[in-house]
Amino acid sequence: MEHPPDAEMEKLELDAQRKAAKEAKKRAKEEKAKQKAEKAKQGALNLSILLNSTLVSILLRHALFVEDLCWRLLHSSSHDDTVDADAKGVTKLGLHAKKNEDFGEWYSQLVVESEMISYYEVSGCYILRPWSFAIWDEIQRWFDNEIRKMGVQNAYFPLFVTEDALMKEKDHVEGFAPEVAWVTKSGSSDMERPVAIRPTSETVMYPQFAQWIRSHRDLPLRLNQWTNVVRWEFKHPTPFIRSREFLWQEGHTAFASKEEADDEVLSILELYKRVYEELLAVPVCKGRKSSKEKFAGANYTTSVEAFVPATGRGVQGATSHHLGQNFSKMFDIEYETEAGGEKARPWQNSWGMSTRVIGVMVMVHGDDAGLVLPPRVAHIQAVIIPIQNKKMTDEAVHLMTDKVHALCAELQAAGVRATTDCRENYTPGWKYNHWELKGVPLRIELGPRDMENSTVMFARRDTKEKSTVAWADVGTAAPAMLDRIQKEMLERARKQFDECTEMATNWDDFMAALDRKHMCLAPWADEESIEEGVRKKSATDDMMGAKTLNIPFDQPDLPEGTPCFFSGKPAKNWALWGRSY
């Protein structure tokens, strides 16, 4: 094989170098393009992540804005956009149960979450917290003032009753026997003579009456005591409504004539009606109890009866008893008459009202957001809440706070039980929920725009209505608003009470009314056997039988020959019937 000449070899080498350089340049260009493409791809990916993140942020802010807007529309002042609201799920305020879906659970949650009571380790006993005790204080002040005007004096008698005194009046004791709690030990030793804890105080007080009443000059004797009593045996305890120990007032009086005693029975009953209607905004029906339902040992018993529409049950609100001369005979109470030389026995009454009134008020007025307190018994009638935001300067915050305190002072001077909520560790939204749950009748909001306009926003607890009020008018507008709230709460409750009262003259209509969770006004022959028969026949697997709530004083016409709706016998009167607590 022949080798090419040197010149030719150089040319071939040069061509090979050029080709290699060209290939290298091409590969470098391709690599550069590849890197550029990879960089572009990464840039696009980064841009996508950025856009998605931005979109998520925008959507999240939008969702929070919508949530905040909805909250403000439902729970706060629509006049100011500065509320930093906490949702109820975050604040953990509010009730989980609904009044019309699970009344028992709703009520149990409400009395605890609103700080009315705390449960105690002894079943059927409850701690009354300041929020509920303040309501009892208001009732006590009003009622005590009224009975003092009548000449009633307050006293206090011991908690314990001897067995001899308790057994003195057989019929009376039989009525309370299952409920009497006995103290049988002193330390580790059995007591020689056990003593009872009073279920009521007739047998405590009347032995003393026998010593104090000796002459007609000692009459009338009119005493009242504010105390506690214990009634032990029962099922299904319910705070305020049915408990083993409760607070009450019990009046015990003695008169020379039956007429005086009769007059007092009705006067006291009227005061009880006023407590419910004027203070608690709860309508009641005044009437006489049937012989089956009257107080053990009484000649007759009168009562005010309330009604809870959500459960379809009546509630005995308070009672005023005419005891006749039954107890004066049993405890040998007698006095020398004005004529001289003659002995006579006094005519006696007893009457009582307990903390049950608070439970009735809660059941009638409360809603799914919490308590709804009538202004006359609310410990706090108005709360002023400043609405601040982060944009406000320190000076603006101080000016707003000063104005809140100035408005509060003005309200207090006008007789309104007002307070402020300037706590910095809670948002306005949390405060709204808190005071709504506690049932404060009037919320007053003060925000930045209000500061500019010299106004506040009034928000009613009962209707959720809102109105703008000038600073200059707050001192007169707030008391007027509270009076209006009190009046309209009673009007709404009375309308519902009337709508839940039906008239029936036969058994089918009677049962239909009960099935609708209503009370029924029906003609009857006024016999205990009939009432017992109605109770048994009207009972179902799920519901207790009906009984007479009372025989209303305000009676519809009863034409002669009208038959009893149950027995067919001639009716003697109309009775108000219903299932009850």
User: Is the Cβ–Cβ distance between 244 and 237 less than 8 Å?
Assistant: yes
Q: With CA atoms as reference, report the closest residue to 375 among 487, 493, 482.
A: 482
Number of neighbouring beta carbons within 10 Å of residue 152: 22
Residues 365 and 359 sit within 8 Å (Cβ to Cβ): no
What sign does the dihedral 530-531-533-538 (CA atoms) show? positive
Q: Give the CA angle between residues 338, 340, 343 to the nearest 5°.
A: 85
Which one, of 274, 451, 475, 472, lies nearest residue 382 by Cα?
475
| Confidence at residue 50, expressed as pLDDT on a 0 to 100 scale | 43
Nearest to 550, CA basis, from 292, 202, 180, 240: 292
The candidate with the shortest Cα–Cα distance to 316, out of 126, 576, 564, is 576
Residue 166, pLDDT score: 81
pLDDT number for residue 199: 87
Q: Strands 245-255 and 189-197, how do they pair?
A: unpaired
Cα dist from 498 to 284, 491, 495, 505, whole Å: 10, 11, 5, 18
Confidence (pLDDT) at 368: 97
- 550 three-class SS: strand
CA angle 137, 139, 140 (to 5 degrees): 60
Residue the block writes with tokens 């105690």: 120
Which 8-state DSSP code applies to residue 277?
Answer: I
The answer to pTM > 0.85 is: no
Contact 374, 138 (CB under 8 A): no
Q: What is the pLDDT along the chain (581 residues), one digit of tens a residue?
A: 444 444 444 444 445 455 555 555 666 666 666 666 666 555 554 544 444 444 444 443 444 334 334 433 433 333 443 344 444 444 567 899 999 999 999 999 999 999 999 999 998 999 999 999 999 999 999 999 999 999 999 999 999 998 888 877 665 556 667 788 999 999 999 999 999 998 889 889 999 999 999 999 999 999 999 999 998 867 788 999 999 999 999 999 999 999 999 999 999 999 999 999 999 999 999 999 999 999 988 999 999 999 999 999 999 999 999 999 999 999 999 999 998 779 999 999 999 999 999 999 999 999 999 999 999 999 999 999 999 988 999 999 999 999 999 999 999 999 999 999 999 999 999 999 999 999 999 999 999 999 999 999 999 999 999 999 999 999 999 999 999 999 999 999 999 999 999 999 999 999 999 999 999 999 999 999 999 999 999 999 889 999 999 999 999 999 999 999 999 999 999 999 999 99
Tokens representing residue 335 in the block:
């006095």
Residue/partner pairs of 509-515 with CB below 8 Å, 24 or more apart: 510/538, 510/546, 510/565, 510/566, 510/577, 511/538, 514/312, 514/538, 514/543, 514/546, 514/578, 514/579
The whole-number pLDDT of residue 73 equals 41
250 in Cβ contact with 352 (< 8 Å) = yes
Residue 370 phi/psi, 5-degree rounding, is 140, -155
Q: Facing residues of 445 across strands?
A: 385, 457
CA atoms within 13 A on the CB side of 565: 23
Within 76-129, residue ranges assigned H as helices are 88-91, 103-113
Terminal alpha carbon distance of the chain:
128
Give the residue among 316, 356, 366 at the shortest CA–CA distance from 106: 366
Only one residue has tokens 């572009």, namely 40
The pair phi, psi for residue 247, each rounded to 5°, is: -95, 145
